[in-house]
Structure 1
């Protein structure tokens, strides 16, 4: 097996993947890069190759990936402009001699008619990687359990209520741990080239039922208020969230736009994330974590 590259290795997903890779491959077979390479000292100390690479500086990327065979391309957070970043990375990977790109995408994203704005960048990126001539694996990750246990649960518990536009739509909420383990499995095993993997948790949830579990575990009420998409937009407006990604203030207090959240809820409601899969267990050899287990891990951060 050739060397494995982890992009954005100073982020949560990248760092977790790099640490897990060190448990499975020799350190000299791991290349990690970030625009903040000073945050990657632990990998240099372990014997991995640490490099500087910035998605907004394409000239830095070829050198960052030189000598690698498989690239873990972790999607960036800039909705609306990240396809350019991803394209720069794939072009650099090709120039550096990389053979296989493993990309973190989104569950249900290629189902025709999916309204999720978050998904549009993923669709464009998947198609661009497929057209590059490189081998690919798309890791289509479901909604993170960690996001439900923190970003959703904490404000809902604090307010005692939560507006919700996802209705009775079901989503197989998955732990980020299982997404990372699946990515590492694909990077270290043969047989995953030119495939898409549905990275899902072990249970189907509606978001109102997930909030009911939070309420039960916290011993505090959460009233879920069903709203339509416009009602969901108004809720985010009241929090000062920009509607469109193009209106997000760079480095501002809220780095995301409500159109992504509202259309994500719409895609759940309309069944685009109602996907059952055993890919996590097939690739990692272990059962994926339950939502309750992730909530147990984070409940110490919940308001008392």
Structure 2
């Protein structure tokens, strides 16, 4: 039995789908207010709970052999990004879980003090490594699925908002590839007790993304490129009325102000370990956009 947290998210949904395609039993940890009917139709066991409730985590871990922690913590890094994962690890040890896969983030070890989600994930990484559990820590760059709404907006308007440095590099990973890697991590020997950077096969500049959109839709992109200090000004103003929301923007600013890409050697290492070929961003987008 696999337990997947964040099962209705862009990544979690694909992890559940991949497991069910392999006829593996899956317990999908979901919130009552989330859309989980697709997971149920695929044959996943639905566990309705709250990751901020320790008793729910304890119940969800009963009879589980593998855990894939794929939930985000952007809304509450303390409770969801950190505390819920620590509780999951503790309950996994009690339940005799054979392997724990943790979805972290590329650059988590760089010490970004202004990014609560990064700090939470780094502390969870350290706790997991020290736990004695068999683990795989995956550090992906940006998810390709997160660009689908932006691509649909571009289809309608031809406009792309790019805040900050156009030439900042990234290697956005196919979310389907990441799901396959997460599932494979529990059985592939080369992934056992490893920290793996996960990115797409191409190192792109951020300005390449609207150009890819333009090729897909045969439209010359209109790129609106405000400098990063515009976000800083908004964040400062927001801090006067909502300090908590202002702090939450720290992770977003960190993502805009830094480069997150895998080297060709890291991508080649992934492909060797998992016996797969990583999909390009353009290929992923064309598949989902139907063009």
TM-score scaled by length of structure 1: 0.78
Measured after TM superposition, the shift of residue 48 of structure 1 is 5.4
Structure 1 SS opposite 2:119 = helix
Cα distance in 2 for residues equivalent to 1:38 and 1:210: 30
Measured after TM superposition, the shift of residue 135 of structure 1 is 2.0
Measured after TM superposition, the shift of residue 237 of structure 1 is 8.3
Cα distance in 1 for residues equivalent to 2:56 and 2:28: 13
CA contact (8 A) 1:33 1:64 kept: yes
Cα distance in 2 for residues equivalent to 1:234 and 1:79: 23
C-alpha RMSD over aligned residues: 3.5
Structure 2 SS opposite 1:287 = coil
CA contact (8 A) 1:170 1:274 kept: no
How has the CA–CA distance of structure 1 residues 153 and 202 changed in structure 2, closer, same or farther, with 3 Å as cutoff?
A: farther
Is the aligned partner of 1:292 residue 2:289?
no
Measured after TM superposition, the shift of residue 198 of structure 1 is 1.4
Measured after TM superposition, the shift of residue 241 of structure 1 is 11
Measured after TM superposition, the shift of residue 264 of structure 1 is 0.6
The one-character-per-residue Cα deviations of 1:228-274 (angstroms, maximum 9, x if unpaired) are: x3223347789x899988227xxxxxxx9432222111121xxx535
Structure 1 SS opposite 2:29 = strand
Measured after TM superposition, the shift of residue 208 of structure 1 is 0.9
How has the CA–CA distance of structure 1 residues 86 and 156 changed in structure 2, closer, same or farther, with 3 Å as cutoff?
A: farther
CA contact (8 A) 2:68 2:100 kept: yes
Which residue number corresponds to residue 80 of structure 1? 77
Which residue number corresponds to residue 260 of structure 1? 251
Cα distance in 1 for residues equivalent to 2:160 and 2:234: 12
Is the aligned partner of 1:273 residue 2:261?
yes
Which residue number corresponds to residue 11 of structure 2? 13
Q: Between Structure 1 and Structure 2, how many residues are aligned?
A: 285
Structure 2 SS opposite 1:187 = coil
Unaligned runs of 5+ in 2: none
Which residue number corresponds to residue 101 of structure 1? 100
Which residue number corresponds to residue 211 of structure 2? 212
Cα distance in 1 for residues equivalent to 2:262 and 2:226: 19
CA contact (8 A) 1:174 1:289 kept: yes
Measured after TM superposition, the shift of residue 88 of structure 1 is 2.0
> Which range moves more in the overlay, 191-200 or 34-43?
34-43
Cα distance in 1 for residues equivalent to 2:90 and 2:191: 21
Cα distance in 1 for residues equivalent to 2:230 and 2:186: 42
Which residue number corresponds to residue 154 of structure 1? 153
Which residue number corresponds to residue 202 of structure 2? 203
Cα distance in 2 for residues equivalent to 1:42 and 1:12: 13
Measured after TM superposition, the shift of residue 170 of structure 1 is 1.4
Cα distance in 2 for residues equivalent to 1:242 and 1:187: 46
How has the CA–CA distance of structure 1 residues 207 and 285 changed in structure 2, closer, same or farther, with 3 Å as cutoff?
A: same
Measured after TM superposition, the shift of residue 123 of structure 1 is 1.0
Cα distance in 2 for residues equivalent to 1:243 and 1:294: 40
Measured after TM superposition, the shift of residue 168 of structure 1 is 2.0
Cα distance in 2 for residues equivalent to 1:19 and 1:288: 19
Cα distance in 2 for residues equivalent to 1:194 and 1:212: 39
Cα distance in 1 for residues equivalent to 2:277 and 2:113: 28
